Amino acid sequence: MSPYLIFPLFALLFGMVIGSFLNVCISRMPKNESIVSPPSHCPVCFYKICWFDNIPLLSYILLRGKCRGCGTHISLQYPLVELTNGLLTLFLYLRFGPTLAFAALFVFCSSMVVITFIDIEHQIIPDEISLPGIVIGFVLSFFLTGHDWLNSLLGILLGGGTLYLVAWSYYRFTGKDGMGGGDIKLLAMMGAFLGWKAVIFIIFASSLFGSVVGVSIMLLQKKDGKLAIPFGPYLAFGAILYIFYGGPLIRWYLGLSGFVQG
């Protein structure tokens, strides 16, 4: 097999294997359980999952989405997380190749997968991910080409400061909490990894996409404006969109707005 196919295929499979571990994080972190022990098991019958029942995506298909021990239905979340992380890893490899940037963004995107699924189900963003992520992103800025430490530091300050100002203003005028501290720390982490320019893009993209989805959900469910919608997944979507298409989208928007001539 050609090396041009082997390495992308390995990236896909590696991402799916890590995706299997991410499922453990998604399941256990909201419960404050260890992600190391005990080994993977069925939450109903406690059947210890063997290695051949833990092959990403393939085992779910062969088991027809059921536990081998008791036949309980396995959530579709498990293969979805594995496939999502595998595809993200593949696209990152095709975009950046075997570089430090690929490794850094692999860690970042894997974190976004965990945060997205946890926030959707529990409406929390674990500090165990975002706070170390801020530090890791800043430290990596000293080694990444085209992303210096000042850019990262400004990203942290702009990311965390912007949402903190929004949350503070909302509370000031309404007396209610409109945005959790998890979102603030998450955007600071994004600024640490991607820089201050990314923060502006992420806020715009996530707000736009979140508004469209939120209004659509409220209309379909005939809910009023008090419907609680987690914002973390939209921030994650905006960050990943920036990684792959941020530059072209920004140039397109500026050209559309008349800021770019020629």
Residue 254 structure tokens: 């500026």
Cα 188 to its chain centre, rounded Å, is 14
Residue 57 pLDDT greater than 90, yes or no: yes
Report the pLDDT value the prediction gives residue 53, as an integer from 0 to 100.
Answer: 83
Answer yes or no: are the C-beta atoms of 233 and 116 closer than 8 Å.
yes
Per-residue pLDDT of 61-99, as tens digits, reads 999 899 888 888 989 999 999 999 999 999 999 999 999
Distances (CA, A) of 189 to 12, 109, 193, 237: 25, 12, 6, 14
Amino acid at the residue 247: G
Q: What are phi and psi of 73, to 5 degrees?
A: -65, 135
Minimal CA–CA distance to 234: which of 195, 183, 185?
183
**177 Ramachandran zone, left/alpha/beta (phi>0; psi -120 to 50):** beta
Count Cα neighbours of 192 within 13 Å in the Cβ-side half-sphere: 21
Per-residue pLDDT of 150-204, as tens digits, reads 999 999 999 998 888 877 777 778 766 656 688 999 999 999 999 999 999 999 9
Residue 33 pLDDT greater than 70, yes or no: yes
Which residues neighbour 164 within 8 Å (Cβ) at sequence distance 6 or greater? 184
**Hey, where are the domains in the chain?**
1-98, 99-262
What mean pLDDT do residues 204-232 have? 78
Distances (CA, A) of 202 to 114, 176, 206, 236: 18, 25, 6, 8
Q: What are phi and psi of 259, to 5 degrees?
A: -80, -20
Residue 226 pLDDT greater than 60, yes or no: no
Higher pLDDT, 43 or 97: 97
